[in-house]
Amino acid sequence: MTASDQQHAARPSMPEDPPVAREPVDPLLLQQLADAHGVGTSFQGWDGLPHAVAGTTLIKVLAALGVQADTDQHIEAALAEAELAPWRRMLPPAVVIKQGEPAQVPVHVRDGATARLTVTLEGGAGSLDAVQDDIWVQPRDVDGTPTGRATFSLPPDLPLGWHTLHADSEGATATAALVVTPARLATANPLEQRRGWGLATQLYSVRSKRSWGIGDFADLADLAAISGERGADYVLVNPLHAAEPVPPVQPSPYSPSTRRFFNPLYIRIEAVPELAYVRPRKRAALEKLHEEVAGLNRDGARLDRDAVYAAKLQALEMLYHTRRSPARQAAFDEFCRISGSGLDDFALWSAIREDFAPDDPLWTDPAFAIGTREAEALREKLADRIGFHRWLQWICDEQLEEAQQAALRSGMRLGVVHDLAVGVDHSSADAWTLRGVLAPATSVGAPPDMYNQQGQDWGQPPWHPTRLAETGYEPFRNMLATVLRHAGGIRVDHILGLFRLWWIPDGNAPGDGAYVRYDHEALIGILALEAHRAGAVVIGEDLGTFEPWVRDYLAARGILGTSILWFEYDGDSPLAPEKYRTQALASVNTHDLPPTAGYLAGDHVALRSRLGLLERSEAEERAEHNASLEKMFALLRERGFLTEVAAGGQSAEEHTVEALHLLLAQAPSVLLGVALVDAVGERRVQNQPGTTGALYPNWQVPLGGPDGKPVYLDDLPANERFNALLAAVEGALHGS
């Protein structure tokens, strides 16, 4: 995750500035309050030293959590409230447990009153009684009412799923979500018996000669079929989350409008069934739209999302208004029913956003929040446009289903592996429709590190830990279920954010933030449950600054980690392949690095120098880069993968790229990743950290070969370099 992953609009202004201390506050009291709400008062920096968080920052972060801490009196009151808060509730907001492990639930009732706790199983599959334990807890006075705590043990061997707790006492009742999650996700277990490999790519960049200038869902199906026939088990793609509903659209797939729904930009027009029933005049109009963007499909320098999306939207509107058969209409209705209010609200945002700018006051006006009279009036007024945006998501769903089925038919064990972005933009659909579970006046980022000594602000509002729990984690669950609906796996970008996130209050520099802790047992458990239900593997991008125990915890829960060849070191030497983690996806590079051919040539050093991103001279940077390469070459030669003369007519560059992958194949990691750019000899980086679109066309580079000319999917079956690398990897892993 890097700063340029998030090219976003300015954060909308808040009605009031966050509070700061009117007078000096007691730092010990402030620290106690921060601890009580999961706000870190210090952190270990990239230099290995502890760094204290400024008191003013703590006050702002606490304010974003809804806790006033600008005076000692407010802090003392907030501390008292934090202690009483659980006693004010009959049941916790949500209970997330591991299957097969003992679990207890507190129930707060009038002191001395009897209580009962039952579990209603998901889908009405039955009801079970919890057993009250003989545990005495000192009663508390809650607003003048003596309140006691009864402790109940949940029934053993509860099935996995989303159940409901019901408590009652003297006519008072309460309910809460009970989520039973896998103690360990087992979907990756088969990979321990037979390791797998797959392709990683940025889908928008991968075009066929039938594309409309951007890689699409049909291209994904074809890429899966081509690579599956060569032994690949998966295709890992960039986040396919929806962007803006109309051009201009955000180039970065890591700064979406929603993480639950998909980007209609990827729809293949010709694969929409209603096209078969379009009358000749309308068909001619559709063909003309395709012709208008045909030239863009031949451009090898830069992708033009806006022009392509504008043309596709016109075509899609024509198809939307084409009469559907009764069976097709029934399928659409069923999709809408399953997707529920989440789809309705996203479609409402999309319809409004067509006419209102992202910085329009409407988006932050409480009078226009979801559920208000004004919002419901817009829902009625924009009914047809809402229907169109719901239909777009249905078409996305159908074409994603076909891509996954094509992958499985080709012999892949996993198929499509989706990428889940860290968050959404402040002016996004999720920021509007889910405002109740997001923290206001703050943004997610990263503290200073060796790559960015100012820290990073990704411009994304974080989940509010308490409010998310109060919803029973429903928004988190719904997001995961939709992404995993037609997937064999999910890569979670910055999975460390499910443990803690770096919050930056409005007005603060990126480095002036604080870590806020999340209930990782709940979030990781729910992630494992939804992946279990989908039969999907979970890969956590666990690079960067993290607490040492985190990787061990993820491995224990069956979540794979991420290992990048260029980042894996043992002291000053490259890590020997046999020392890599078993429970990991290992790859040579990542989208924030140049393709391997470009990296070997030091193209990134020259690019960063040209863009003014170096803190040292280009000669110094290149000398350090070459020294690190030589250490890697020494390991390759030692293991016999790099020879003086390449075999089979390979260039020295191809030979070295193949050698790196063969070295990595010696690692015990259950999954190996091959970047499509490496397989075709591309040299240009997709994303240059530290830049914006004005400096470098991040996320807008079409797939090309060593000469920079476009490489189309149609050409891959006969591409010698592509076939040679895939055959080498397949042979190294499976001995063929």
**pLDDT tens per residue, range 99-136:** 999 999 999 999 999 999 999 999 988 999 999 999 99
Residue type for position 441: A
- Residue 22: the pLDDT is 62
pLDDT band at 1 (very low <50, low <70, confident <90, very high): low
Helices and strands, counts by H and E, the chain:
21, 25
pLDDT tens digits, one per residue of 528-584: 999 999 999 999 999 877 788 999 999 999 999 999 999 999 999 999 999 999 999
For residue 561, the Cα-to-chain-centroid distance in whole angstroms is 14
The DSSP call for residue 19 is: P
pLDDT score of 613: 85
Average pLDDT (491-513) is 96
DSSP of 666-722, one letter per residue? Answer: TS--SEEEEEHHHHHT--S-S--TT--TTTS-TT-PPPB-TTS-B--GGGGGG-HHH
How high is the pLDDT of residue 46? 80
State the pLDDT confidence band at 75, using cuts at 50, 70 and 90. Answer: very high
- For the purposes of burial, counting CB atoms within 10 Å of the CB of 325, is it exposed (0-12), middle (13-18) or buried (19 or more)? exposed
| Statement: residue 648 has pLDDT above 80 | no
pLDDT digit string (tens) for 338-376? 999 999 999 999 999 999 999 999 999 999 999 999 999
Mean pLDDT of the chain: 94
Mean pLDDT of 170-180: 97
Is the model's pLDDT at 21 over the cut of 60? no
User: Residue 644 has what pLDDT?
Assistant: 78
Q: Inform me whether the pLDDT recorded for 213 exceeds 50.
A: yes
Q: Which two tokens stand for residue 544?
A: 């960067």
Q: How confident is the model at residue 13 (pLDDT cuts 50, 70, 90)?
A: very low
**CATH number listed for the domain at residues 100-181:** 2.60.40.10
Which residues, in sequence order, are bridge partners of residue 152? Answer: 105, 132
Whether the predicted pLDDT of 432 surpasses 80: yes
Q: Which residue's structure tokens are 């992630």?
A: 527
At 11 the three-state DSSP class reads coil
Q: What is the largest CA-CA distance in the chain?
A: 86
Say whether pLDDT at 8 is over 90: no
Alpha-carbon separation of residue 512 from 16, 32, 223, 319 (angstroms): 20, 20, 44, 50
Q: How far apart are CA 415 and CA 729, in angstroms?
A: 18
Residue 471, helix vs strand vs coil: coil
- Give residue 614's pLDDT band: very low, low, confident or very high (50, 70, 90): confident
Share of residues in the chain with pLDDT > 90 (%) = 89
The pLDDT, as a whole number, for residue 736 is 57
**pLDDT for 484 beyond 80:** yes
Q: What is the mean pLDDT of residues 241-247?
A: 97
Q: What is the pLDDT confidence band of residue 12, given thresholds at 50, 70 and 90? A: very low
By the 8 A CB rule, do 8 and 424 touch? no
What is the C-alpha separation between 728 and 45, in angstroms, rounded? 41
Strands 196-201 and 671-675: parallel
pLDDT digits (tens, 9 = 90+) for 513-529: 999 999 999 999 999 99
Judged against a pLDDT cut of 50, whether residue 2 lies above it is answered with no
Alpha-carbon distance 499 to 477, whole Å? 17
Which tens digit of pLDDT belongs to each residue from 260-318?
999 999 999 999 999 999 999 999 999 999 999 999 999 999 999 999 999 999 999 99
CB 165 within 8 A of CB 119: yes
Choice among 328-342, 383-397, 443-457, 625-639 with the minimum mean pLDDT? 443-457
> Bigger pLDDT: 655 or 5?
655
**Rounded-to-integer distance, Cα 254 and Cα 421, Å:** 5
Contact 532, 160 (CB under 8 A): yes
Residue 378 has pLDDT above 90, yes or no: yes
Q: What pLDDT score does 448 carry?
A: 84
